[in-house]
A and B are shown apart, each in its own frame.
Chain A
């Protein structure tokens, strides 16, 4: 897929389904959407009746040629746009979207690839990485994939069913606050040692994609460098701030 010029599109909500208590899965029909690579994102622009507008960026959970795009949006308490998208935006309603955006934090199956691909997600940062694992799933041949997904509790997991069904990506989920009943191990925060044990070693020179809240990505990317990974092989996408 060659990069297409970014433009505004009109999307209509085909379905909305709670992914967790505080996150919505939105499927949009965007007739003019040119398709997107895995890992890409888009901007949503909302317009209030008085003309006031607000825009935000969201990662796409879907990829490929389809004009149906899937987003999973986490509600940010006190946020301006996400509470409307999660709680109010109705099936059949239209929104303006701009995209597809992003050509760096992406995985393109056609690229010849010798080294394995390691995905590392913190919380809702799993969305673009799920998109990459799904794209890999559609290819009969390709690089080895692993996903390490750090999330507060089983109730907070995105794509729980889909992740369990992936056959071409090894998935490991770390619960940081609350374990699954009968899991046999307590919740734990990710450490450098746990990271090393659950990811491809530096000796395999994996390409690495890390996405999550800023402190998570800072910690993980720093550990990866300490573990001997080449910084040039590590691509990051962060959200949220530092004080």
Chain B
């Protein structure tokens, strides 16, 4: 549209090449949630992957640690225009959790304690692109940031990185999750600015 706001200088904080279009670098960590923060006790926590054959793969908290964690340094991008760079995360690679999962379906519905859902193509969860994260910046994830465990899919807008995650269900088609039913993009690639539909 070509509007120039003459008096606007801007901080040019968005000149960092690691920032996708329309994003601003922040140093704090904003919290966005649709409702009250659920209190999820590690003792009653479990994570499941369910397939079309109704086979359920399940890990409790101790079993998850045994799968093996890895450290990841990555940038995260929220659709509300902030990005946080070089965050230190620790989590279990989704590749390992899917090792023994047999499915012909290509899509996944992620489900969280508290009722949140989000949809993803399976290929966005594999090949070293996604983790079940339990720590950020050297500390266990706090409840407001999704603790004890949240999904980490840093190459997509952060609403895909579901907090308080409890399971994944394989799906034959890319059915929309919570925000995807409420006006947000089905895939959410920040480099293509796939924010809304």
The answer to whether B1 touches A96, judged by C-beta atoms less than 8 angstroms apart, is yes
The verdict on A155 contacting chain B, using a C-beta distance below 8 Å, is no
From 169 to 208 in chain A, residues with beta carbon under 8 angstroms from any chain B beta carbon are none
Q: How far is the CA of A214 from the CA of B145 in the complex (A)?
A: 11
> Residue-by-residue, is A139-153 near B (CB-CB < 8 Å gives 1, otherwise 0)?
000000000000000
Given contacts A96-B3, A231-B35, contact A243 B29 (CB under 8 A): yes
The answer to whether A234 touches B35, judged by C-beta atoms less than 8 angstroms apart, is yes
The answer to whether B30 touches A214, judged by C-beta atoms less than 8 angstroms apart, is yes
When distances are taken between beta carbons in the complex, the residues of chain B under 8 Å from A114 are: none
Interface residues of B, dominant DSSP: loop
B193 CB to nearest chain A CB (Å) = 10
When distances are taken between beta carbons in the complex, the residues of chain B under 8 Å from A236 are: 33-36
The verdict on B6 contacting chain A, using a C-beta distance below 8 Å, is yes
Given contacts A53-B22, A218-B37, A240-B30, contact A48 B144 (CB under 8 A): no
> Residue-by-residue, is A45-68 near B (CB-CB < 8 Å gives 1, otherwise 0)?
111110011111100000000000
Q: How far is the CA of A228 from the CA of B142 in the complex (A)?
A: 23
Please tell me the size bucket of the interface on A. 35 or more
The answer to whether A54 touches B10, judged by C-beta atoms less than 8 angstroms apart, is yes
The verdict on B26 contacting chain A, using a C-beta distance below 8 Å, is yes
The answer to whether B4 touches A49, judged by C-beta atoms less than 8 angstroms apart, is yes
When distances are taken between beta carbons in the complex, the residues of chain B under 8 Å from A232 are: 35, 115
The verdict on A112 contacting chain B, using a C-beta distance below 8 Å, is no
The answer to whether B22 touches A45, judged by C-beta atoms less than 8 angstroms apart, is yes
The answer to whether A48 touches B145, judged by C-beta atoms less than 8 angstroms apart, is no
When distances are taken between beta carbons in the complex, the residues of chain B under 8 Å from A80 are: 10-11, 13, 24
The answer to whether A242 touches B29, judged by C-beta atoms less than 8 angstroms apart, is yes
> Residue-by-residue, is B159-197 near A (CB-CB < 8 Å gives 1, otherwise 0)?
000000000000000000011001100000000000111
The verdict on A8 contacting chain B, using a C-beta distance below 8 Å, is yes
Q: How far is the CA of A57 from the CA of B80 in the complex (A)?
A: 7
The answer to whether B6 touches A49, judged by C-beta atoms less than 8 angstroms apart, is yes
B188 CB to nearest chain A CB (Å) = 14
Contact partner, B14, options A53, A103, A240, Cβ 8 Å: A53
The verdict on A31 contacting chain B, using a C-beta distance below 8 Å, is no
The answer to whether B14 touches A52, judged by C-beta atoms less than 8 angstroms apart, is yes
> Residue-by-residue, is A1-37 near B (CB-CB < 8 Å gives 1, otherwise 0)?
0010110101000000000000000000000000000
B41 CB to nearest chain A CB (Å) = 15
The verdict on B154 contacting chain A, using a C-beta distance below 8 Å, is no
The answer to whether B81 touches A57, judged by C-beta atoms less than 8 angstroms apart, is yes
Contact partner, B81, options A55, A218, A225, Cβ 8 Å: A55
The answer to whether A239 touches B30, judged by C-beta atoms less than 8 angstroms apart, is yes
The answer to whether B182 touches A103, judged by C-beta atoms less than 8 angstroms apart, is yes
A183 CB to nearest chain B CB (Å) = 31
A210 CB to nearest chain B CB (Å) = 9
When distances are taken between beta carbons in the complex, the residues of chain A under 8 Å from B74 are: none
The verdict on A95 contacting chain B, using a C-beta distance below 8 Å, is yes
Closest to A5 in B: B197
> Residue-by-residue, is A208-243 near B (CB-CB < 8 Å gives 1, otherwise 0)?
000000100010011011000001101110111111
Given contacts A47-B8, A240-B28, contact A95 B35 (CB under 8 A): no
The verdict on B44 contacting chain A, using a C-beta distance below 8 Å, is no
Q: How far is the CA of A43 from the CA of B22 in the complex (A)?
A: 10
When distances are taken between beta carbons in the complex, the residues of chain B under 8 Å from A55 are: 22, 24, 81
The answer to whether A241 touches B31, judged by C-beta atoms less than 8 angstroms apart, is yes
The answer to whether A8 touches B1, judged by C-beta atoms less than 8 angstroms apart, is yes
Given contacts A101-B183, A231-B36, A242-B28, contact A84 B12 (CB under 8 A): no
The verdict on B104 contacting chain A, using a C-beta distance below 8 Å, is no
The verdict on B43 contacting chain A, using a C-beta distance below 8 Å, is no
Given contacts A80-B24, A221-B36, A232-B115, contact A88 B183 (CB under 8 A): no
Task: Knowing that A10-B3, A80-B11 touch, tell me 7 more A-B residue pairs with CB under 8 angstroms.
Answer: A8-B1, A52-B15, A55-B22, A84-B8, A95-B3, A222-B36, A242-B29
Mind listing 15 A-B residue pairs with CB under 8 Å? A8-B1, A43-B81, A45-B22, A47-B3, A48-B8, A54-B8, A88-B7, A89-B7, A93-B5, A94-B3, A214-B31, A231-B36, A232-B35, A232-B115, A235-B35
